[in-house]
C-alpha cells in the first residue's frame, strides 16, 4: 500500500511540474486594428510582462505602430511643426516600421507596469499641401500595463 501511495504522489508531482503555472502560458496577446484615423486594441490593458501586439492595417495606406511609455494623455504628446512626434524626445519602447494596407505584423515586448500610448507616427508630405500627420488625425490611444 505504501508503494502505491508513493507512486501516486510521484505521479501527481510529475503532472504538476509538467502542467506548469500561469507564468508559462506565454505572452499576453493583444490584437490591434489600424485604419484612417484610429488605433483600436482588443483590450486597453495587459498584465506586466511579455505582450504580443498583432497589428493589422485595415486602412487604405501604409501605417506604423509605436509603443510609447508616458503619463501624458494620448493627444498630448509633443509634436514638431509637421505633427510628427519626435521619437528622440519620448520614451519609445519599440515600433513596427510602416507596413502595407491589408497586412498584419507582430511585435512582442516585455512591458513594465505603467501608462503607455499606442500611435501611428507617419507624416505624409505632399508639395503644396499641408502635412498629413496620422498622429494628429487621431491615430493614437492609451494603453495600461498592470
Whichever domain contains 58, its CATH number is 2.60.40.420
Give the three cell numbers for residue 74.
494620448
For residue 37, cis peptide bond before it (omega within 30 degrees of 0): yes
Q: How many domains does the chain have?
A: 1
Is there a domain that residue 3 lies in? no
Average of per-residue pLDDT across 24-33:
90
Is there a domain that residue 17 lies in? no
Residue 24 pLDDT > 90: no
Average of per-residue pLDDT across 24-51:
95
Is there a domain that residue 6 lies in? no
Residue 36 pLDDT > 70: yes
Supply the pLDDT for residue 26. Answer: 86
Let me know how many helices (H) and strands (E) the chain has, helices first: 1, 11
In angstroms, the Cα distances linking 34 to 51, 68, 73, 127, 146 are 18, 16, 19, 26, 24
β-bridge pairing 63-69 and 114-119: antiparallel
> Which residue segment(s) compose the domain that 83 sits in?
26-145
Residue 56 pLDDT > 70: yes
Query: pLDDT tens for residues 78-128?
Result: 999 999 999 999 999 999 999 999 999 999 999 999 999 999 999 999 999
Is there a domain that residue 7 lies in? no
CA-based angle 69:71:76, to the nearest 5? 100
CA distance 122 to 102: 17
**Does residue 120 sit in helix, strand or coil?**
coil
Residue 43 pLDDT > 50: yes
Longest dimension (CA), the chain: 89
Is there a domain that residue 20 lies in? no
Supply the pTM of this predicted model.
0.83
Supply the pLDDT for residue 52. Answer: 98
Is there a domain that residue 117 lies in? yes
Is there a domain that residue 97 lies in? yes
Query: pLDDT tens for residues 57-88?
Result: 999 999 999 999 999 999 999 999 999 999 99
Is there a domain that residue 21 lies in? no
Amino acid at each position: 500500500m505504501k508503494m502505491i501511495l508513493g507512486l501516486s504522489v510521484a505521479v501527481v508531482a510529475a503532472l504538476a511540474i509538467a502542467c506548469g503555472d500561469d507564468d508559462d502560458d506565454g505572452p499576453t496577446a493583444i490584437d490591434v486594428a489600424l485604419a484612417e484615423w484610429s488605433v483600436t486594441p482588443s483590450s486597453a490593458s495587459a498584465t506586466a510582462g511579455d505582450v504580443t501586439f498583432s497589428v493589422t492595417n485595415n486602412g487604405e495606406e501604409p501605417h506604423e505602430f509605436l509603443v510609447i511609455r508616458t503619463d501624458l494623455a494620448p493627444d498630448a504628446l509633443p509634436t514638431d511643426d509637421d505633427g510628427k512626434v519626435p521619437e528622440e524626445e519620448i520614451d519609445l519602447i519599440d515600433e513596427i516600421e510602416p507596413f502595407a494596407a491589408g497586412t498584419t505584423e507582430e511585435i512582442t515586448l516585455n512591458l513594465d507596469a505603467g501608462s503607455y500610448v499606442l500611435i501611428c507616427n507617419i507624416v505624409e508630405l505632399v508639395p503644396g499641401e499641408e502635412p498629413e500627420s496620422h498622429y494628429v488625425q487621431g491615430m493614437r490611444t492609451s494603453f495600461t500595463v498592470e
